């Protein structure tokens, strides 16, 4: 089945008594009982399928996890309470029986960098940052440090660089390291990293998959080798997503392919318009033929899908000028997220990368005049019109 069909049907319509609900219900129970204790004992021991305690799993979560594993062509999935919880638990699963060292892209979401610095490093897990788009540098870092995990984003936040997942997976595998990919920006519509050799994939469900600004959640999708480790960690620590959020995410995923195609189409038009404006110094967008990773993009991304994220720099602007521009926006929502049906804009130095030291941000290429733009499903003319009036 094609991904559009999987999004509509996977995970749903499990038999409940004599009937089959057309969509998965919201199961709010925290505990489950059986007619005989022997049955409950076997469920606890995982000898037979069933539910016992919501920290372990529940029918609503299980349906969402089946859906996400299907979309990513993975072995199993774990729905988590946030995208960052998914990142943290995926890193723990990757490192559990491996050397406590991470080779990570030097261009990552700010909170991911903070997790490496503030949680893993104090626990004795070293992190080596490298230009993930420089394969020679990646190979050298892996050979030098022999890491337990390699961490990257499919499309980097916020400068939209694209590393060669297939090649990096081969380097990781040769060193015995697990490759963990945050694929939030790309979604399973564009790239399915497990098919390219990754071991674990994470998404912020809050973004394109749920897509309506009403869910906080994340997911880990794993290969067979890491599925049991992820589930065991979850059963102990309970980072699980609530049943209401799981239900809303499943409902959002049903229309996700339609929304994402429209968002990608709009983003192409908006990026072309931005590139023609004298008030815009530089536009970052994967469909740009002069993109530094154009060869990888052409090989990996589907035709006509380059993502719906655009970053751009306002010519000669500082923080105050950027704020003035954003304050004049009327249609585009000034909020800290992305992937919603409505267009959204944020200022990375203030939000997504706020906790990164200014000098480190500068080294990452995140300048004071940079804004990040998540293009929605509105009419593209209206989006451009709002940008135009705000730039006057």
Domain extents for the chain? 3-251, 256-391
Whole-number pLDDT of residue 17? 72
Q: From edge to edge, which strands make up the β-sheet containing 218-222?
A: 76-80, 218-222, 200-204, 178-182, 149-153, 101-105, 126-130
Q: How far apart are CA 57 and CA 50, in angstroms?
A: 9
Structure tokens at 161: 């660089």
Q: How far apart are CA 61 and CA 229, in angstroms?
A: 18
Mean pLDDT of 225-241: 95
Q: How far apart are CA 179 and CA 165, in angstroms?
A: 9
H or E element that contains 200: strand 200-204
Mean predicted lDDT score pLDDT of the chain: 95
Q: Strand, coil or helix: what is 311?
A: strand
Whole-number pLDDT of residue 124? 96
Mean pLDDT of 350-359: 72
Q: If we measure between CA atoms, which residue out of 114, 217, 196 comes closest to residue 154?
A: 196
Percent of the residues in the chain that have a pLDDT greater than 70, as a whole number: 99
Domain 3-251 sits in CATH 3.40.640.10: yes
Whole-number pLDDT of residue 364? 76
* Least-confidence region, from 109-113, 226-230, 293-297: 109-113
Q: If we measure between CA atoms, which residue out of 336, 284, 300, 277 comes closest to residue 156?
A: 284
Whole-number pLDDT of residue 351? 67
pLDDT digits (tens, 9 = 90+) for 151-177: 999 999 999 999 999 999 999 999 999
pLDDT at 358 over 90: no
* Least-confidence region, from 14-18, 86-90, 289-293: 14-18
Q: How far apart are CA 337 and CA 8, in angstroms?
A: 25
Which residues participate in catalysis according to the annotation?
55, 109, 182, 207
Domain covering 256-391 in this structure, CATH number: 3.90.1150.10
pLDDT digits (tens, 9 = 90+) for 55-95: 998 999 999 999 999 999 999 999 999 999 999 999 999 99
pLDDT at 128 over 90: yes
Mean pLDDT of 243-263: 98
pLDDT at 285 over 90: yes
Q: Which residue has the higher pLDDT, 353 or 50?
A: 50
* Least-confidence region, from 78-82, 136-140, 218-222, 356-360: 356-360
Residue with tokens 């799981």: 246
Q: Which residue has the higher pLDDT, 182 or 366?
A: 182
Mean pLDDT of 232-244: 94
The reply to whether 256-391 shares the fold of 3-251 is: no
Whole-number pLDDT of residue 367? 85
pLDDT at 38 over 80: yes
Mean pLDDT of 32-53: 89
Q: If we measure between CA atoms, which residue out of 225, 230, 221 comes closest to residue 184?
A: 221
List, in order, residues 6 or more apart from 113 with CB less than 8 Å away: 104, 356
- Secondary structure letter of residue 19 according to DSSP: B
List, in order, residues 6 or more apart from 198 with CB less than 8 Å away: 165, 169, 179, 180, 181, 223
pLDDT at 349 over 90: no
Q: Strand, coil or helix: what is 76?
A: strand
């Amino acid at each position: 089945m094609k991904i559009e069909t999987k999004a509509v049907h996977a995970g749903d319509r499990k038999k409940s008594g004599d009937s089959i609900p057309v969509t998965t219900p919201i199961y709010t129970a925290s505990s489950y009982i059986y007619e005989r204790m022997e049955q409950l004992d076997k469920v606890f021991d995982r000898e037979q399928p069933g539910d016992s305690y919501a920290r372990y799993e529940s029918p609503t979560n299980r349906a969402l996890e089946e859906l996400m594993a299907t979309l990513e062509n993975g072995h199993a999935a774990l729905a988590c309470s946030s995208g960052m919880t998914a990142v943290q638990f995926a890193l723990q699963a990757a490192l559990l029986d491996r050397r406590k060292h991470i080779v990570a892209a030097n261009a990552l979401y700010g909170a991911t960098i903070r997790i490496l610095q503030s949680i893993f490093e104090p626990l004795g897990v070293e992190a080596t940052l490298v230009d993930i788009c420089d394969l020679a540098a990646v190979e050298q870092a892996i050979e030098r440090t022999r890491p337990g995990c390699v961490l990257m984003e499919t499309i980097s936040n916020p400068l939209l660089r694209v590393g060669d997942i297939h090649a990096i997976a081969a380097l990781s595998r040769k060193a015995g390291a697990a490759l963990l990919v945050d694929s939030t920006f790309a979604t399973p519509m564009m790239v399915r990293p497990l098919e390219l050799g990754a071991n674990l994939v994470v998404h912020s469900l809050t973004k394109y998959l749920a897509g309506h600004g009403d869910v906080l959640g994340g997911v880990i999708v794993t290969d067979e080798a890491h599925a049991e480790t992820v589930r065991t960690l979850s059963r102990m620590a309970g980072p699980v997503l609530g049943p209401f959020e799981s239900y809303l995410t499943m409902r959002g995923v049903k229309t996700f392919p339609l929304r994402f195609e429209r968002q990608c189409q709009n983003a192409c038009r908006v990026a072309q318009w931005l590139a023609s404006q004298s008030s815009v110094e530089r536009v970052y967008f994967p469909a740009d033929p002069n993109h530094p990773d154009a060869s990888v993009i052409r090989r990996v991304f589907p035709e006509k899908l380059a993502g719906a994220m655009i970053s751009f720099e306002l010519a000669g602007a500082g923080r105050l000028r950027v704020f003035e521009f954003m304050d004049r926006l009327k249609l585009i929502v000034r909020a800290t997220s992305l992937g919603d049906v409505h267009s959204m804009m944020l200022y990375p130095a203030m939000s997504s990368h706020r906790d990164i030291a200014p000098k480190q941000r500068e080294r990452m290429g995140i300048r004071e005049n940079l804004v990040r733009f998540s293009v929605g499903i509105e009419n593209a003319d209206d989006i451009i019109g709002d940008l135009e009036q705000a730039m006057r």
